[in-house]
Amino acid sequence: MSVSHASIHPVEDPTTTDGGNNNAPRVRMKDIQGMPGTKGGLALRLSQFIFAVTALSIMASTSDFPSVTAFTYLVVAASLQCLWSLCLAIVDIYALLVMRSLQNYRIVIAFAVGDGIASTLTFAAACASAGITVLINNDLDSCADNHCLQFETATAMAFISWFSALPSFLLNFWSLASR
């Protein structure tokens, strides 16, 4: 049993009526910027959303992206990242407006699992698309027939979206692991 000494931390002993089962709320450290419900978390969500939308719109603007499976996968992964980031940005905005903490155990689990899935899919799609763009550009030398610049730009935007999604996942996972 962890009890503070009264001379160091003078706190009144709460009366217990349930026979000693003390379920007093624990004191938590202040929220770290980048975690859900903070301004840093909102900035990460918005950057994830902006870069994923950019990757999606650049890739979808080309006419021949459906002919390559990796590019189609990038469009699907970027779409998922857009939806996930937009939904959580709205939740972050709401939490900031009503000054509500999003450190509930179940919410943090949902955020960590969702961030893990979305960031893994985005990273895998960006890697697959990067491999295809290197194949088209360097190995096949057929950039004149394809939209290499658009493919490379969309792939870069997907990587940047992943780079901004990774801190969200790591902070949520760290918050979960430190409980």
What amino acid is encoded at 140 in this protein? L
- Note whether residue 4 is domain-resident: no
Question: How would residue 121 be classed by pLDDT, with cut points 50, 70 and 90?
Answer: very high
- Note whether residue 60 is domain-resident: yes
- Note whether residue 81 is domain-resident: yes
- Note whether residue 33 is domain-resident: no
Q: Could you read off the pLDDT of 126-162 as tens digits, one per residue?
A: 999 999 999 988 888 887 777 889 999 999 999 999 9
Residue 118 has pLDDT above 90, yes or no: yes
Residue 45 near residue 168, CB atoms below 8 Å: yes
Count: domains in the chain:
1
Q: What is the CA radius of gyration of the chain?
A: 23
Residue 5 has pLDDT above 70, yes or no: no
Q: What is the pLDDT of residue 10?
A: 55
Q: Could you read off the pLDDT of 10-68 as tens digits, one per residue?
A: 556 556 565 555 555 444 556 788 888 889 999 999 999 999 999 999 999 998 889 99
- Note whether residue 5 is domain-resident: no
- Which residue did the predictor score with more confidence, 171 or 12? 171
Dist CA 20 CA 3 (whole Å): 14
- Note whether residue 115 is domain-resident: yes
Residue 36's nearest CA partner among 114, 117, 102, 106 is 102
Mean pLDDT of 108-115: 93
Q: Could you read off the pLDDT of 53-93 as tens digits, one per residue?
A: 999 999 999 988 899 999 999 999 999 999 999 999 999 99
- Note whether residue 24 is domain-resident: no
Please list, in sequence order, all residues whose beta carbon lies within 8 angstroms of the beta carbon of residue 61, skipping any fewer than 6 positions away. Answer: 150
Ramachandran area for residue 100 (φ above 0: left; ψ -120 to 50: alpha; else beta): beta
- Note whether residue 173 is domain-resident: yes
Q: What is the pLDDT of residue 19?
A: 55
Domain enclosing residue 74, as ranges: 39-178
Dist CA 39 CA 49 (whole Å): 15
